[in-house]
Chains A and B, each alone.
Chain A
Amino acid sequence: NAGVTQTPKFRVLKTGQSMTLLCAQDMNHEYMYWYRQDPGMGLRLIHYSVGEGTTAKGEVPDGYNVSRLKKQNFLLGLESAAPSQTSVYFCALRGGRPPYGYTFGSGTRLTVV
């Protein structure tokens, strides 16, 4: 999706390993979000940020950390990966006026073995 780039697109981790997912935007939006998608559960909010230097917990934050050191980048970290974190991760941006438009990245498919 134009303006939102997620890296990597695929990754396989062993239990206990760490990794960082990157969401990069060129749309100059303040609000950024990390969701995870699991079969039959829709998308659930992990963490979000309302601007550079700010982060907040979402619905399922345990086991994840985030940072927003620069406005254009929102990083999602897994310090010690667990099989329960096997999922597809989506980054989203919010912009415009209410009701806001959300732009989603193409996702990162993560498998923890």
Chain B
Amino acid sequence: AQSVTQLGSHVSVSEGALVLLRCNYSSSVPPYLFWYVQYPNQGLQLLLKYTSAATLVKGINDFEAEFKKSETSFHLTKPSAHMSDAAEYFCAVSRTSNFGNEKLTFGTGTRLTIIP
């Protein structure tokens, strides 16, 4: 079975500071990994996804994530936080099941608060 663990349900950073949101995955086969963002009262928007072509993945709004197989991690970072980054962030993993049907499994989410 596949799963993801997001460390820290709430993270607060000052405006302009580094954002680091942690995600560790578990998968018996090489995974596909995703980060999604959810702004209040909205659906989920894809930030970035791991394609296996490169371990450092760049996404929208200056977010990036690094795939580290040895640590089974896919942490999300942004060099300088903006007030508009306040949202909930979800890490997700998928793989092909025995029947070739892919399912997306989410972590429990991290709510990011930006301090002015």
Interface residues of A in 90-113 (CB under 8 A from B): 90, 92, 94, 98-102, 104-107
| Structural contact, A100 and B102, CB atoms closer than 8 A | yes
Q: Which residues from 19 to 34 on chain B have a C-beta closer than 8 Å to any C-beta of chain A?
A: 32-34
Assess A105 versus B43: contact at CB under 8 Å? Given A33-B104, A43-B90, A92-B104.
yes
Judge if B70 is at the interface, Cβ distance under 8 Å. Answer: no
The answer on a CB contact under 8 Å between A99 and B90 is: no
CB–CB B109/A100 < 8 A: no
Q: Is the CB of B103 within 8 A of A42?
A: no
Q: What DSSP secondary structure best describes chain A's contact surface? A: strand
B46 at the interface (CB under 8 A from A): yes
Of the listed residues A45, A99, A102, the one surrounded by the most CB atoms of chain B closer than 10 A to its CB is A99
Contacts of B52 in A (CB 8 A): 99
Using Cβ atoms and an 8 Å threshold, which residues of chain A touch B49? 99, 101
Task: Sort chain B's interface into a size bin.
Answer: 20 to 34
Q: In whole angstroms, what is the CA distance A104 to B46 when docked? A: 9
Contact A45–B43 (Cβ < 8 Å): no
Nearest opposing residue in chain B for A105, CB measure = B43
Question: Are B101 and A43 in contact, CB atoms less than 8 angstroms apart?
Answer: no
Q: How far is the CA of A50 from the CA of B34 in the complex (A)?
A: 21
Which residues of A come within 8 Å of B, CB atoms? Answer: 1, 31, 33, 35, 40-45, 48, 50, 56, 58, 90, 92, 94, 98-102, 104-107
A-B contact pairs, 13 of them (CB 8 A): A1-B43, A42-B107, A43-B44, A43-B106, A44-B106, A58-B103, A90-B43, A94-B102, A99-B34, A99-B49, A100-B94, A102-B46, A105-B43
